[in-house]
Amino acid sequence: MSDKDTLALARIAKHRKQMPRQYRAVYDVAMTGLSIRSAVNSQCAECMAYVMSEVRLCVSPQCPLFPYRPVHGVAHNLHYASQAERQSTNASLPAPEPSEGH
């Protein structure tokens, strides 16, 4: 094993030790590279300080993992409202009535 590999393993072990115990198993699976779902779940939990209710409230649609979050809340619906849906919603609104002064 190279020094680079040893250093990487030490950093992973340190990171794992700092996280709450209940999230370590998901992190371990994610770090095997065999489960994309575990990687997403682990990253979202870490990003939101391991508070899953905060993951549900995530309002960071610029995050590349946003559409794949483990839980979906209101922000999920905002993210998936496509431009076409917004345009069709606006098109279905009645046109404003002209004012009498014009």
- pLDDT, one tens digit per residue, over 26-77 is 999 999 999 999 999 999 999 999 998 888 888 888 999 988 888 765 455 5
Q: Which residue has the higher pLDDT, 83 or 98?
A: 98
- 52: which residues sit within 8 A by CB, 6+ positions away? 45, 70, 71
Cα–Cα distance between 41 and 32 in angstroms, integer? 14
pLDDT of residue 102: 47
Residue 101 has pLDDT above 60, yes or no: no
Q: Which pTM was predicted?
A: 0.66
Query: pLDDT confidence of 12, banded at 50, 70, 90?
Result: very high
